[in-house]
Amino acid sequence: MSRFVVISGCSGGGKSTLLAELARRGHAVVEEPGRRIVHQEAQQGGRALPWIDMAAFLNRAIAMSLADLLAADAHEGWVFFDRGLIDAASALQHLTGEPILERLHKSRLYQPRVFLAPPWPEIYQTDEERRHGWEAAVAEYWRLHQVYPALGYEVVLIPKATVDQRADFVLSQLTT
CATH of the domain at 133: 3.40.50.300
Does the structure show a pLDDT above 80 at 125? no
Does the structure show a pLDDT above 90 at 1? no
Range of the domain at 168: 4-173
pLDDT at 176: 53
Task: State how far Cα 157 lies from the chain centre.
Answer: 14
Q: What is the rounded distance in angstroms from the CA atom of residue 159 to the CA atom of residue 116? A: 9
The pLDDT tens digits of the residues spanning 40-52 come to 998 898 998 888 8
Instruction: Give the total number of structural domains in the chain.
Output: 1
The pLDDT tens digits of the residues spanning 132-161 come to 566 877 888 899 999 999 999 999 999 999
DSSP structural state of residue 158: P
- Once rounded to an integer, what is the mean pLDDT over residues 71-77? 93
Q: What is the rounded distance in angstroms from the CA atom of residue 119 to the CA atom of residue 162? A: 15
Q: pTM for this one?
A: 0.90
Kindly give the pairing relationship between strand 154-157 and strand 4-9: unpaired
Higher pLDDT, 123 or 118: 118
Does the structure show a pLDDT above 60 at 72? yes
